[in-house]
Amino acid sequence: MSTTPWTARIITLYPEMFPGPLGISLAGRALSTDIWRLETLQLRDFATDRHRSVDDTPAGGGPGMVLRVDVLARAVDAVRAANPAAPVLALTPRGPRLTQQRVRELAAGPGVALLCGRFEGFDERIFAGRAVEPVAIGDFILSGGELGAMMLVDACVRLLPGVMGAASSGDEESFETGLLEHPHYTRPARWEGHDIPDVLRSGDHAAIAAWRRERAMADTRLWRPDLWKLHGASPSGT
């Protein structure tokens, strides 16, 4: 019996932005071979007035507009009906930051539905009235959730079976072990007075592995002390 490929459903005011970068390179090849599927839903299709209004002024006053909870709820109900097992995530800076662990969980499931924020964001009641998980891509603000949705989908798709060339390609990448990835080098061996570290040309695989581990820890300590603190607190931390 055939199974449905991992599917991303994007609720957005700008469906023409997709697939965008998701249509090229690894994700694009996987999309063209049906390893995964992409569907977009126009949020305005869930409005009920003749102007297809999706937003209104914020309660309590203030600048900007807020996406209406009744319109959002109808869109969420639609994607949940299409795939009840797929979680619904809302791209918002008010959510916790996306982690590689959460990406792996999403990639292992049947797919994901993504609600792209715009304007001042979502009416907060959508999180009380529907099972919607808020998630942030980082501690910065974008014009809308579409670019964040692309990043999240790309992070998931590259982990799907058959997308990366080797099954182990992502095992040592940044965040997979709680550390930044070790630095990489390639030819030429010397460039403008800078040499590839001798250990990487030694052929001693144990020494290379030890050097990479040491550099991963040192670089994480230097560039991402927040990650290093978490790593040191974990049972496998060193």
pLDDT over 80 at 232, yes or no:
no
> Can you tell me the distance from the alpha carbon of 98 to that of 237, in angstroms, rounded to the nearest whole number?
21
- Residue 237's pLDDT is 53
pLDDT over 80 at 103, yes or no:
yes
Handedness of CA 13, 15, 20, 26 (dihedral sign): positive
Instruction: For residue 116, give the 3-state DSSP assignment.
Output: strand
| Rg for the chain, CA atoms, rounded | 22
Q: Residue 92: what residue type?
A: T
Question: Does one domain contain both 124 and 35?
Answer: yes
pLDDT band at 173 (very low <50, low <70, confident <90, very high): low
Q: What is the mean pLDDT of residues 67-91?
A: 98
- Residue 176's pLDDT is 73
- Residue 230's pLDDT is 85
167 located within any domain: no
Computed over every residue of the chain, the mean pLDDT equals 93
164 located within any domain: no
pLDDT over 70 at 229, yes or no:
yes
- Residue 147's pLDDT is 97
- Residue 25's pLDDT is 97
Give start and end residues of each alpha helix (H) in 39-142. 69-82, 100-107, 125-129
What's the number of domains the chain is made of? 2
Q: What is the mean pLDDT of residues 88-116?
A: 97
C-alpha neighbours within 13 Å on the C-beta side of residue 65? 10
Q: Domain ends where: 122, 157, 192?
A: 157
144-171 pLDDT, tens per residue? 999 999 999 999 999 999 999 755 455 5
2 CB neighbour count, 10 Å cutoff: 4
3-49 pLDDT, tens per residue? 899 999 999 999 999 999 999 999 999 999 999 999 999 999 999 99
Instruction: For residue 25, give the 3-state DSSP assignment.
Output: helix
> Can you tell me the distance from the alpha carbon of 39 to that of 47, in angstroms, rounded to the nearest whole number?
19
Q: Domain ends where: 125, 157, 189?
A: 157
Question: Does one domain contain both 125 and 232?
Answer: no
- Residue 177's pLDDT is 75
Question: Does one domain contain both 122 and 202?
Answer: no
Q: What is the mean pLDDT of residues 180-203?
A: 95
Is the N-terminal amide bond of 93 cis, ω within 30° of 0? no
> Can you tell me the distance from the alpha carbon of 199 to that of 184, in angstroms, rounded to the nearest whole number?
12
Instruction: For residue 159, give the 3-state DSSP assignment.
Output: coil
162 located within any domain: no
Q: Domain ends where: 112, 128, 157?
A: 157
Q: What is the mean pLDDT of residues 183-192?
A: 95
Question: Does one domain contain both 151 and 184?
Answer: no
Question: Does one domain contain both 42 and 114?
Answer: yes
pLDDT over 60 at 217, yes or no:
yes
Q: DSSP class of residue 117?
A: -
Give 115's strand partners. Answer: 11, 90
Range of the domain at 102: 6-157
- Residue 3's pLDDT is 84
- Residue 1's pLDDT is 41
